[in-house]
Each structure stands twice: as structure tokens, then as C-alpha cells.
Structure 1
Amino acid sequence: MHDLPPGDWLWRALLDGTQAGVAVLDTELRYLYVNPALAAMNGVAPAEHIGRTIAEVVPAVDAREDVLRQVLADGRCREVVSSGQTRAESPHARRYWHGSYSRLADGDGRVRGLGGIVLEVTEDRAGQRELERARERLLLLDAAAVRIGSTLEMEQTCQELCDLLVEVIADVATVEVLSLSGDGHRPAPAGMLRLRRAAMAARPALWEQVLQFGGPGEYVDYQRTAAIPRCLETGRPVVSNHGSDASLSRSAPNPERLAAYRAAGFHSTMVVPLSARGGQIGTVSLVRAGASGEFTDDDASVARALADRAAISLDNARRYSREHGIAVELQRALLAAPGTPHPRVDVATHYLPAGATDLVGGDWFDTLALPGGLTLLAMGDVMGHGVEAAVEMSQYRSMLRVVAGEHGGVPGEGTPDRILRRLDVLLTAAGTERPGTCLIGLADPVRGCAWFANAGHLPPAVIGTDGRVDLLPVPPGPPLGADLCGAYETVYVPWPPGHTLLLYTDGLVERRTEDIDTSLERLAALRLPNTGPLEALLGRLVHLLTPTAAEDDVALLVARAQPHP
């Protein structure tokens, strides 16, 4: 049976016109008939199929002949997915077909062979794989959004990126960052580019071998032909798969590393730029070794997406580090030189910035000797954080000195509240954008007393000779600079010899998980040594009340009158 009966024109028209491949095989799985569509799929003329097996016609196709023999044996129809490459031209490296096979028997019930209908599904599978890859990339980016940039620490963000890359597409991953001006590193030799290795990750089996090339924190010099300088110059990934010794020598930081790379089994590398907001940050280097496959275009897309995600976090961290450093130095400089108190008043101060992940705030203090033997004691907290808050804090201090010099020279009830009212008017008129709290006291060591007024600040305290801490009832008025036309009240406070006045900001006592009254009760419950140096008293106070990582800045001021001659 080499063909269908010539008179059966209906079946011939149907089979020859369909786009599905149709075949009839005998019991030895040799072709008895193929339609034009199947012949085109195989790239072999219909006549050349007849009498030959599938393996003889298209030897590069896995036709699942074991399944076809099962159909012959039990008569159950089966669906088969086969794959490979036929003799027909195709843009796909591997093609896929879906076939449906059933057993054929004659009128006497004798098994004569198989009938099969075959459809090519290569494009469908390629589309499905692309969808799966897209889904995987989305899941990976979701993971990156959670795992990369969890803090504003550059090194930790770089390490998070390296760890994720080693999990998904690399055997080794490193991040190299460009040095910032003024970071104190030595210049690179002529013709070389120096970067700092910020982070590194590797599969456990490769870790010791990778460490010989430099660990996190070390500076690495790169020849200009190396992959990293080329990546920075072009702004595009640089990929090298199974490169020759010559190309690997050119791409390495220096040619001397070739032997060590080969010994470690490195065979493929990829360098991806780290850039954000138009500025370069550094590069991400990925390595594959041993039996790992070479890098693909998909790998480059994934690495670039993760690097772009991390670069935003790194740029934020870099900007934060720069502003944090400026703010800290500015605030330290402003607080390092408080005014000079009256000679008969001993004063000690302490400033403790919050943890490295928080911008410094607007905490400030000051002392100033006034006419009539009085000493101004001031403690304040400007709203906000960062450079702007530190600059605003300086304005508060400067205005207070001017106002106190004009109004604070006469001891007696009422003076501190007049100072706060005048200061509030000036700050409001100047259009300050940051209200602030302020507690001021006029201390008189000769009369053994002090007068306090409060603009929204926590109350002062006095530490007795027995170490007891008593909070002073100084009612708080509105904050300064809030345009509330504040009414403030002056409170007289006895200040016996040996007693110490304490002014502080909320960072000393306040906790986010508790009511402020509870925090103040903790301060009042302390028993502090009050006979030694004031610096020792401050150290004890900070040790007892401030956690290892303070939630907010802490500013302290203590004052004790010297004994009468």
C-alpha cells in the first residue's frame, strides 16, 4: 500500500489540503503514506518516506518509538511530544511536535499499522518559555526589592546584591565601587584604574580560591584593557565566555592573574555597570567556573536588572552618607564651643548622635555668662533631621544669645519667659520653617537659685546630694517658631550647694513603645553619684538610660555651683 486508492478523491483532497502532518505507518513503523504537510516538516519528499522508518528519514528527531509500539500492542490512542531537528531549514535550534497516534485494523480485525496526526508546536513552546522566563525575572526582581537596599549602608547593600547573584546566576560575584574624592586612598599607578571592592560572594567550594584576588574593603588596580574599565567607559555589559588565554589576560585586572583564574576553573565572566541618576557608582562582576554553563543574553538581562535595582539603593546610601557626614560635623562644630558660664558655675555637656542609619537631628545646648552674676542655661530641639536642621539649630542659638544679652541681665521672676516670648517673635518674623522646643534657665550661684521657662520641652531636673533625681514642675508653653503667640511661665527653683541642674533632650528618655510619662518616671527613679566630676555624672546617666543604638540624638547639660569662698 504505497498510496490511497486513486478513486478516493475526497480523502485525497482532505489529507493533501490540511496543514497538519498525516502519516500511516506499518507494524514495523515504516512509512506507508505521508501527506505534503508532513513531508514539508521533515524536509524530505513524500516518495522518499515510503518503506523507511522515522529514524531513517529524520535521524535527529526523538520520535518516541517506544510509545508508538505500545499503541500497536494495546490499541489505546496516545498523545506524543517529540523533539529534535528535521532536514527542513528552521531558525530554532530545537523543534517540537505534538502527535496523536491510533492503531489501524482492517475489516477482519487484523492490525495493519498506525495512523498519526502531527502538529509543530515549536513557536508555542518558545512563547511559553519566554513567558516563564519573564515570570522568573519578575519574581527575581520582587525578591531583589525586598532583599537589596534594606539599609542605607553601602557595604551591606553591595553584599545583598552579591549574595542574590550567587544564588541565581553566578558562581562568584563582586561589587567594585569608584572611590569618592577625599576618601584617603592612595592614587593608582600610571595607566591603571583603582576601585574598592565593596562586597563579594562565592559558592562555598570556590571561596578560598576567590579570596586570593582580594576581599571586601581592599583596593584593586585594573589595567585599562580590563573588562571593568571597558564596562565603565561604554556603560554596557562586557561578557566573555570561554575566552582564550590572550583575551582573558586582557580582561583580567592584570595579566599575572591568568594562571590563577585557570587553576580556579574560571571560564566565563560578565561585568555589568552600576549607575544611577546619570552618575557612575561602580560595577558588578560575575564569574562562572567548572561545570557551570556560559553566560547567556538572558543572564545579562537579569544581571542588568538587578544591578539597576541595586544602583538606586546604593546612590541613596551614598547621598545619605555624604549628608550624614556633613550634618554630624556641622552639629559637632556648633556644639563644640558653647558659651562661657559664670566663673562660679561648673558646666558639663554631652552630645550623642543617633545610630549610623539615622540622620542627626537639631538637638542643641548653650551656656552664657550674663551681667549680674547670672548664667544662661539653654537646651533645645529643632524639628527635623539632617543638614537643614543643624543649620536651623545654629540660628536658634544665635538669636537666643542676642535676646538673652538684652533681657537676661536682671535676676528675678519673669525674665526667662520674656526671653522666650521675644525669641518666638523673632523666629516667627524670620520665617523659620522648623519649629523647635527650648528650655532656658537663669542660674544664680550666689543666691542659690535658678529661674526656668519652657517652650514645649521636657522638664528640667535637679540631682540632690543624695543622688535623688527630682523633676522640676516647669509647665511647657508652645514651641518656638510655630506662630502660636506663646504664653510662657517662669518658675523659681532652689539650687542649694552641691545640687546639680540637669537639662536634656527627649532622646535620653523617650522610647517609641511607651508613654512619655513612663519614660520620665524611669529618669526620676535613678540614683546617681553626685559628688565627683560632672563628666562622670554624665557618663553614668548615658550608660543607664541610653540603649546601645539610640533611637534619637541625645544632648545633655549639667550645672553645679562652686562652693562659696
Structure 2
Amino acid sequence: MDRDTSSRRPAAPAGPAASGLTAAPAAPVARGTSTASAASAAEGTPPVDLGYIDMLRGIVEGAAVGFAVLDTRLRYLYVNPHMARMTGLPAAAYLGRTQREVLPHIQRPDQVLRDVMHDGRPREAIVTGRTWVDSPYQVREWRCVYHRLVDSTGKVAGVAAVGLEISEPQQYLYELERAHRRLALLDSAASRIGTGTDVAGTCRELAEFVVPELADAAGVELSPPDTASARRAPTRLAAYATRPGLATGLAALDARGELVGWPRGTGTRRNLAAGRIWRRNAITAAQWRSLIPRWPPARACLTARVHSVLLAPLVSDGRVLGILLLARAGDSGSFSNEDATVARELAARAARALDRAVRFEREHTMALELQRALLAEPGQLQQHAGVETTARYRPADDGSMIGGDWYDVLALPDGRTMLVIGDVMGHGVDAAVAMSHYRSTLRALALAGLSPRRILQHADRMVADSGFERVATCFLALGDSDVATLTYASAGHLPPVWLTPQGDMELVPVPVGPPLGSGLGRYEQRVTPERGGVLLLYTDGLVERRGEDIDRGLARLTGLSLCPTDPLDKILDTVLARLAGGSEDDIALLAARAVRG
């Protein structure tokens, strides 16, 4: 994770005299003579041309690279003017001192220099860090080459170092790499945040996504659902994540479910209410007290060495849904302008996913309440003295979608009983509203005394003429205890199952017409004698599975071993326990049994 490591100039050390170290000045060499030329004359060899020495001195001292000579203990014997300029220290400050003493913020692999002196093989190394002068680069880098130095007797005298600064091209590469990582981070956010449809899960995914890539700890605070402004109400912590090393120290911050808002009248609250980023680095103890009114969380931040905080509002369609809180601690760098930009974009993308989850959850709640209002509890079903009924409704396994499945029992004035099971296409509020429409229509037609096939014909035409776009399957069973008969009619629905008095499960053959709402209503009905046992009506979620032929699901249903004399509640619970697992759709079940007086 990138951190703000911009080079800043620290206070330079004092010179050798001030620090207590005194470097012996180099002996002056008069032009036209040298110890080398004197030695050459004594040995009878041609004298060294001092013009070459002056030329070499000019090259070294005028070169735009750093040049240094160090003794065998890695103490400086010479540095050229360019090295003095780029480090911010005069050449005299180096003499007789080690790098750690004069440049403590530079990381140099000293073992490489020792290896060069040991075997004489030149080596390269990358040196990084900060010097005593300001720099526009986040990290300064030099590519250095080291050569062993020997005296005239062949004894190792030290090492010569030549360093070329490569900070600018390296900074460019770092920026490209960082930009690539940030783009990859934002791209992956689309597939890792908002994978589900619940608000809590989306908040948890967001908090866990930014740790540790963008922060050491993160929280997601949500505004109450009845407000769209962080100015008028506190927020509530919905999710929290931290890197393992901080989990214990920041336990006091994990107050999920509690109201945690930011103090009123502060710049923090005003920025968040306006949808702006708020960032604070190098936070002091006094500032922690003002930022977090309750002292224990503030003390936890101080104990865990949390020094920087960034707050990014979660804004969608102009509404502030909440806050993404990022914190860095310990040796992690402060939040930079680039971090703020990334956090702003990430918060914007996450807010869209969160808004979808909020809307879905609100719609899910409305649909569920509407469905509960329309579906009578099993004990509230209308009953006649001669019929016992009970029912079950079960959402899909993940509970995220409320469908249009419904059941109904009508005790008609003439003593007959109408059993209804149906399934509206689709899910959500629209499906629940459509279910209400179909249920009311069928009730009205049944109370008018129509036969099952006539009920379906009129309902199909009424729905088609009204322009209602959601079709539905439906099955009707009209029981007449006076003549001990059952009359069936189906609008595209699966056939019911008889649990016979002998315990067999048999599909009831019924003529099937088109679904309601198609406008193609031609329905037939079938009359059979009532022969005891239990009649089971169900929707397709009980037997239908993705990628599987429906006949296999029906075979599982008819293959169940059930006792026809068991209570109806037990029979339905057994059916659900054995068949409902893995269903991707909701399920409605209705069971009926004739009761003899």
C-alpha cells in the first residue's frame, strides 16, 4: 500500500567541529609537483604528467554525478562538489565520518562495499532515502557503482563510489505502478462490493475491501432511513474492519448498531452534509477528544497510534446515505491527495451499490408486509364444518425475493369450499400487488356462484382487458360435501397430489388451460368423487430446479412416504423439510382433508 513518503528536509547535522569530530584537512598539493612525481623520480620511472591529474580532478569535481572515496572502515575521505550539493552538506562535513553519521536517512547496503574490498570485483547497488535538502520526489534513489582502491603496495585502501541519481525516472515508474494499482482497485470494487441485495452485507463488503489496501481500519456509518442529510441526524455504525495487528487495540471503535455521529457545528459535519471529503493527518490527543466526544474510543485511537483519518460521504442521487471512515496507524503514511481522490471515487461507486441495496430492502419489506397482509395465517383460513385445511408459505432459500405465490380458502355461502393456489410471474412489490389483484378477482367470481372453469374464464378476460401485464398460473378445487365431489380446473398450474387413505401419493389428472391474463381463456373442469385422504396443492418452487426436468421434481413429490392420518401441519412440514432445500423460488402449500361428522 502506498504511503506519503515525500522527502522533507530534516535539520542538518553540525559540521565536524560542532559535532566533536575533527577531520584532518587534506595536505595541499602545489601545482607542478606531487608525491607521485617525486616517487617516480626516485625510482627512475618517468614522472607523472600533472596535466592529466588536473584533467582528472576537473572531471571528478565537475561531473554531474556523486563521487566519494571511503577508507576501509567506510569513513569518507573525499566527496566531490556535486555530492555535497545534492545532499545539502559541505564536503568538509563528511571527512572522517561514516554515512550513518552524516546521512542517517539514507539506506545503503554496506555489505556490498565490504564485498568489493574483499574480492575486488566492482558491484552495483541502489541507494534510497532522504538527504538534507528538499526534493520533489517521494523517494530519492541513486544507482551506485563501487570499486576497490589499493595503494602502491597492493594493500586495500578503501572503496570509490560513483552515484547517479535516478529519482525522476523511478518516480515516473512508481506513479505508473501506483496508478495501475488504483485503477485495478476501483475496477475490482464493482465485483466485490454490492454482490448481494442486503444493506448489511454491502456495508461489510465495503469495509473489508479497503483494508489493508487503502487503510489500516475502516468503518461504514449509515444515516437513519428517514433522513437524507447528515446535518440533521447522527449516523449508525453498520460495518467495521481492521487489519489483524490493530484488532485488539481498536476494539472500542467497533460499536456496530450504535449511534456514533460527529459533533454538530463542526467542519467535519458540514463537509459530510455537503458531500465533501474530510481529511486530517497527524491528529493530536486534544483533536481526538474533539473529534470523538466519548473518551474511550478516542483513547483507543491514541493507544493504537491512529494518526490519520479520512471520511468520504456515501452520496447517491444527491442523498447522503452514510460515511466511509478510513484510518491509518503506526508506521503507515498519512493520507495524500491521491488517497482522497481514490476514496472519493470508491465511495461514489459503493454508494450506488448501497443505494440499490437500500431500495431493494425497502421494496422487500413492503412486499413482505403486503404479502403477509394478504395471506391468512393457517389458523385464520375460512373453514366449513366438513373441511379441514392448513397452509404454508416459504420464501426462497436466501430470503431475498418475495414472489407472487398465494393460497386461499373460501367458505362459500351455499356450504361449498373453494381451494385456490396461484403463482404470479415475477417477484417484489409488483408481484405482490398483482397477487392481490388476482386474489380479489377470484374471490368475487367465486362468491357469485360460478363454477371453477367459469371463474377462470372470467378472470382471464378481466385481467387481459385491464391491460395488467403480469400473468399468473392458478388451480381451483371446489368441494361439495353434500354430494361428496371435487371439481377441478387449472390455468397453467401444476396438478395437485392425492395422499390416499392407503398412503400412496398420486398426481390428479386435470385438463390444463392457459395462464390467467393471456386472454386465451378456454378452460375445462373435471369432477371426481371425494374419496378420502389429503389433497395437496403447491406452487412450482416445491418441485422445480434449474437445469432439471420437471418430471424429476414431480417424481420426488410422489415418492414421499407420508401418513394420511397425521395432522395436516405435520404433513406440510414434512413435505417442506424433504423437498424445499435448494429451491430458488418461493413456495406455497395448501392441504385439505374432508372431515366426517
Structure 2 length as normaliser, TM-score? Answer: 0.74
Q: 1:330–1:59: structure 2 CA closer, same or farther, 3 Å change rule?
A: same
Taking structure 1 as reference, are residues 312 and 253 closer, same or farther at Cα in structure 2, changes over 3 Å only? farther
The aligned residue for residue 194 of structure 2 is 149
- Does 1:224 pair with 2:258? no
1:495 to 530, 535, 543: 530
Partner-residue secondary structure (3-state), 1:514: coil
Q: Offset at 1:316?
A: 1.9
In the other structure, the counterpart of 1:131 is 176
2:284 aligned to which of 244, 248, 270: 244
Question: 2:487·2:528 contact (CA, 8 Å) conserved in 1?
Answer: yes
- Work out whether 1:555 is the aligned partner of 2:597: no
Residue equivalent to 2:12:
none
Structure 2 counterparts to residues 60-139 of structure 1, below 5 A: 60=103, 78-84=123-129, 90-92=135-137, 94-99=139-144, 119-139=164-184
Distance in structure 1 (CA, Å) of the matches to 2:68 and 2:261: 69
Deviation at 1:217? 2.5
Contact 1:192 1:222 in 2 (8 A): no
State the Cα distance separating 1:286 from its structure 2 match.
3.4
1:25-83 per-residue CA deviation (whole Å, 9 max, x = no partner) reads 7999999997x9889767899xx89x989989x95477878767877887755545444
Q: CA deviation at 1:440?
A: 1.5
2:317 maps to which of 262, 272, 277:
277
Cα distance in 1 for partners of 2:472, 2:488 equals 17
Per-residue CA deviations over 1:455-489 (Å, capped at 9, x if unaligned) read: 21110122223333221011322222234x24433
Shift of 1:523: 1.7
What residue is the counterpart of 1:525 in the other structure? 559
Q: 5+ unaligned residues in a row in structure 1: which ranges? A: 183-187, 410-414
Q: What CA distance in whole angstroms lies between the structure 1 residues aligned with 2:102 and 2:360?
A: 64
- 2:573 pairs, out of 531, 539, 543, with 539
Residue 443 (structure 2) aligns with: 401
Structure 1 distance, partners of 2:343, 2:133, is 36
Counterpart of 1:470 in structure 2 is 506
Distance (Å, rounded) in 1 between the aligned partners of 2:295 and 2:530:
76
Secondary structure of the residue aligned to 2:180 is: helix
Question: Which residue of 536, 549, 556 corresponds with 1:515?
Answer: 549
CA distance in 1, matches of 2:209, 2:71: 55
The corresponding residue for 1:429 is: 465
Contact 2:514 2:522 in 1 (8 A): yes
Compared CA separation, residues 33 and 147, structure 1 to 2 (3 A): closer
Deviations 1:99-120 (A, max 9, x none): 5677999xxx999999987643
Measured in 1, the distance between the counterparts of 2:89 and 2:244 equals 52
* Structure 1 residues 129 and 123, CA gap change in structure 2 (3 angstroms): same
Aligned length: 544
Matches within 5 A, 1:326-341: 326-336=366-376, 340=382
Q: Alpha carbon RMSD of aligned pairs, Å? A: 4.6
Q: Which residue of 1 aligns with 2:35?
A: none
Q: Deviations over 1:234-268 (max 9, x none)?
A: 43333333322321111113356544543454444
- Cα deviation code 1:122-153 (max 9, x no counterpart): 11111111122223334444554444333222
The whole-number CA distance in structure 2 between the counterparts of 1:352 and 1:30 is 82
Mapped contact 1:54–1:63 kept (Cα < 8 A): no
Does residue 198 (structure 1) correspond to residue 232 (structure 2)? The answer is no
Return the alpha-carbon distance in structure 1 between the equivalents of residues 347 and 434 of structure 2.
Answer: 38
1:317 Cα deviation after fit: 1.7
Q: Distance in 2 between matches of 1:324 and 1:196?
A: 22
Distance between the aligned counterparts of 2:556 and 2:202, measured in 1? 38
Whole-angstrom CA distance in 1 between matches of 2:159 and 2:456: 102
Distance 1:273 1:452, change over 3 A: same
Write the distance in 1 (CA, Å) between the matches of 2:564 and 2:96.
103
Q: 1:422 to 1:284 in 2, by over 3 A?
A: same
* Cα deviation, residue 227, structure 1: 8.2
Q: Residues 555 and 292 (structure 1 numbering): CA distance in 2 closer, same or farther, change over 3 Å? A: same
Letter in 2 for 1:391: V
Q: Residue in 2 aligned with 1:381?
A: 423
Q: Which residue of 1 aligns with 2:15?
A: none
Local SS of the residue matching 2:212: helix
Q: Deviations over 1:140-195 (max 9, x none)?
A: 4455444433322222332233334343344433222112239xxxxx9xx99533
Q: In structure 2, what is the Cα distance between the partners aligned to 1:135 and 1:65? A: 34
Q: Against the structure 1 CA distance between its residues 171 and 95, is the aligned structure 2 distance closer, same or farther, given a 3 Å change threshold?
A: closer
Measure, in 2, the Cα distance between the counterparts of 1:27 and 1:369: 108
CA change 1:5–1:328 in 2 (3 A) is farther
Q: What does residue 295 of structure 1 align with?
A: 334
Match of 1:350 in 2: 392
State the match for 2:26 in structure 1: none
Q: 1:445 is aligned with what amino acid?
A: S
How does the TM-score come out when normalised to structure 1? 0.78
Letter in 2 for 1:156: G
Match of 1:185 in 2: none
Contact preservation (8 Å) 2:250, 2:300: no
1:249 and 1:462 map into 2 onto residues whose CA distance is 72
- Of stretches 224-233 and 466-475 in structure 1, the one that deviates more from structure 2 is 224-233
- Contact between 1:193 and 1:223, CA under 8 Å: does it hold in 2? no
> Aligned letter for 1:386?
G
Post-superposition CA distance 1:510-532 (Å, at most 9, x none): 23353221211222122334335
- Amino acid paired to 2:403: G
Q: Which stretch shows the higher mean deviation, 171-180 or 369-378?
A: 369-378
Gap change, CA 1:69 and 1:138, over 3 Å in 2 = same
Structure 1 residues 271 and 437: CA distance shift in structure 2, 3 A: same
Counterpart amino acid of residue 458 in structure 2 = R
Q: What is the rounded CA distance, in whole Å, between the counterparts of 1:43 and 1:211 in structure 2?
A: 45
Unmatched tracts of structure 2, length 5 or more: 1-28, 32-47
Which has the larger displacement, 415-424 or 221-230? 221-230
Which stretch shifts more, 428-437 or 363-372?
Answer: 363-372
Residues of 2 paired with 1:329 and 1:439: CA distance? 24
Cα distance, 1:93 vs structure 2: 5.6
